[in-house]
Copies of this chain bind each other. A is one copy, B any other.
Amino acid sequence: MAINKLSIYHIIVEDIKTKILKGELKSGDMVPSENQLSREYDTSRVTVRKALSVLINEGYIFTVQGKGNFVSDPNLYEYEFQFKNEEHSLDTKLISVEIVKPTTDIRIHMQHHSNDKIVEIKSYLTYDGDIIGYALKYMPYRPKEPILEKEFHYINLEETADNNFGETVKIKAESADEEISKILNIILGYPILSLETKIENENNDIIGYEKIYLIGDRYQIIGE
């Protein structure tokens, strides 16, 4: 096997990875600034940014402009999950599935600190065929590792009863906004009851985030 001469940015990448793996840099910690790293490695800022881009791309850190780069939560590189319907008359109808860049809001909800794109699933909630709501689901998306030939499975969001993981639910009364009103064919400001769900694993990491918008004057959610 050939021994590759490490370029400066590779060295920086390996150093920071090592610090993260050793625990010297923990989740949420700020990585030394670009200027600091430039001085530390006696290199240009461009080279430092090249190194950071690699780390961002691999999910080790994430960037917040004006603040710095921060260590991500431990990543999952495989996402297998599906969405499941409630076992009631309430049903869903797929609107769209997209792989997108997550918004800040979504990232916060999902505690998604990496640079990874996420899967967004939009669907209608129907009851006896009628659209009574709108559901938004978010999941981290990751391509397979080059070596690993695995498939991504999106596991049922609803089925959480039989697992050991936790979930948090928020129930809100909202007014239909432009997007939602369009989607649900209701007027702006129309009251909406929303259910926001965070799916967590045994480490309390959020592995999924879902928000369901129910047309507010038609349904009332009673839950826990």
Chain B residues with Cβ under 8 A from A145's Cβ?
143-144, 146
Q: Are A187 and B176 in contact (CB under 8 A)?
A: yes
Q: Which of B63, B88, B108, B183 contacts A124 (CB 8 A)?
A: B183
Q: Residue of B at shortest CB range from A158?
A: B85
Chain B residues with Cβ under 8 A from A112's Cβ?
101-104, 106-108, 110-113, 116, 118, 138, 140, 205-206
Chain B residues with Cβ under 8 A from A210's Cβ?
83, 120-123, 135-138, 157, 167-169, 195-199, 208-212
Assess whether A126 is interfacial by the CB under 8 Å rule.
yes
Assess whether A164 is interfacial by the CB under 8 Å rule.
yes
- Knowing A127-B219, A177-B178 touch, does A140 contact B205 (C-beta < 8 A)? yes
Assess whether A12 is interfacial by the CB under 8 Å rule.
no
Assess whether A73 is interfacial by the CB under 8 Å rule.
yes
Chain A 173-187 near chain B by CB (<8 Å), digits 1 or 0: 111111111111111
Chain B residues with Cβ under 8 A from A206's Cβ?
106-107, 109-112, 118, 138-140, 166, 168, 198-200, 204-209
Q: Are A126 and B120 in contact (CB under 8 A)?
A: no
Chain B residues with Cβ under 8 A from A42's Cβ?
none
Chain B residues with Cβ under 8 A from A139's Cβ?
97-100, 117-121, 137-141, 154, 199, 201, 206-209
- Knowing A122-B123, A224-B223 touch, does A212 contact B196 (C-beta < 8 A)? yes
Assess whether A64 is interfacial by the CB under 8 Å rule.
yes
Q: Which of B136, B157, B162, B201 contacts A205 (CB 8 A)?
A: B201
Assess whether A151 is interfacial by the CB under 8 Å rule.
yes
Assess whether A170 is interfacial by the CB under 8 Å rule.
yes
Q: Are A153 and B155 in contact (CB under 8 A)?
A: yes
Nearest CB of B to A184, in Å: 2
- Knowing A113-B112, A210-B168 touch, does A118 contact B134 (C-beta < 8 A)? no
Chain B residues with Cβ under 8 A from A96's Cβ?
94-98, 119-123, 137
Q: Which of B89, B177, B207 contacts A200 (CB 8 A)?
A: B207
Q: How far is the CA of A122 from the CA of B65 in the complex (A)?
A: 29
25 of the cross-chain contacts (CB-CB < 8 Å) are: A62-B114, A79-B99, A83-B158, A89-B127, A91-B92, A91-B126, A96-B121, A97-B154, A107-B110, A109-B110, A117-B140, A118-B207, A120-B120, A127-B127, A131-B184, A138-B207, A141-B141, A156-B159, A164-B164, A168-B209, A169-B197, A171-B196, A171-B212, A195-B213, A200-B209
